[in-house]
Structure 1
Amino acid sequence: MIRAMIVVDDALVRLGLADLLDSDPEIDLVAQAADGLQAVEQATAHRIDVALVDVRMPRMDGITATTRLRALTHPPKVITLTTFDLDEYVYNALAAGADGFLLKETDPAEILRAVHLVAAGSAMLHPAAARRLIDRYHATNQPQATAAQARLDRLTPRERDVLALLAHGDTNADIATRLAMRESTVKAHVSRILSALDVTNRVQAALLARDAGLAP
């Protein structure tokens, strides 16, 4: 069972998301918050697996809340929600440690899919946000690419194989099947990759792989 939290200041949007999550028998909505401060309080009181966090909120915005949530002893995975797909929100959310970025207009089925994917250790980006990120990293200049390649040199050949598939968007189960290894082994590799690359989540690792030319 995935323990979820909704962090949105708009009561109607919060109600709609609550109804959506409640419709999934594998998701248990254990907490709701109207701003970032309440989100941190709720996540401290209730162990949360995945938090859907709005960007624009009073008292504490979603980017700051994401940073605070990810710093907890038992940090939840975070999917950032916004009505805007501006670059600054995408980059700031990922830098804060978010594992997903969705527009509120995203199809309900895709929101549920995102919760499941992120809970399983994968990542989820709205197509518009993903396109912006890919375009930006395809345009990366050579010094940045060289720096990224140097960081990837810290990895073993097998870890580079795992990273390439991770950057392609594969889940741990997908990677295990394609590389003929146990899923637990994949998880261990991913943990080692994040540590070696000095990044906090799979999205940041994938972007670094693309920057280095390991993935398209």
Structure 2
Amino acid sequence: MYIPSFEEFILLMKRGPQIIYPKDIGSILIAGNINKNSNILEIGTGSGALTLYLNLILDKESQLFTLDESKRNQRRAQKTIERFLTSSKINNNFLNVNYINTNLSNFSFKDIADEVDTIITDIPEPWEFFMKNKIEKNLNWVSYLPSITQVEKIVIKLNEHNFINIKIMETLNREWIVDKKIVRPKNEMVGHTGFVVSARFLSN
């Protein structure tokens, strides 16, 4: 029986909101310095592609919170995780995702701040986080955004709140053909899908 890879599963899975592509998930993991011991708040569950991969790499003792104002999105994400683990024959009993069903205007970060060392946002206006919430501990920040105007706004806000090491990147994915005497790039490539903005906050 053919077992789909994570990339194949994500690109073909049922979805609602636009997914984060596998190439960008890789960039997010590196930019956020994410490892098995990370404790993460994901703002914007969406279709659950990133939620799924975080679930796969985090240790059972880690914390994964995912916030979305849509219960439908969160139910979809939960089913996506269960479907992938079943189809891939992966024995992963983590599945302890903490779903927070609210929007940023009603969300209080201080309630979980002690349990989080990384924030990842996949929403159109991540700067709204700072309207009500404040960072007071060492923390990694990553925002995934489709447009450079959104990038500009979050960078301004991160600077205002004394974040350091602010970096902006995008990942372009081009496959190559190597077949006997043919060595060339494929005609199609996965170009711009989003910007990854990363930063760090260090408490005094």
| Shorter-normalised TM range | 0.3 to 0.5
User: Higher helix fraction: Structure 1 or Structure 2?
Assistant: 1
User: Higher strand fraction: Structure 1 or Structure 2?
Assistant: 2
**TM-score normalised per structure 2:** 0.38
Highest RCO, 1 vs 2 (Cα 8 Å, sep ≥ 6): 2
**TM-score normalised per structure 1:** 0.36
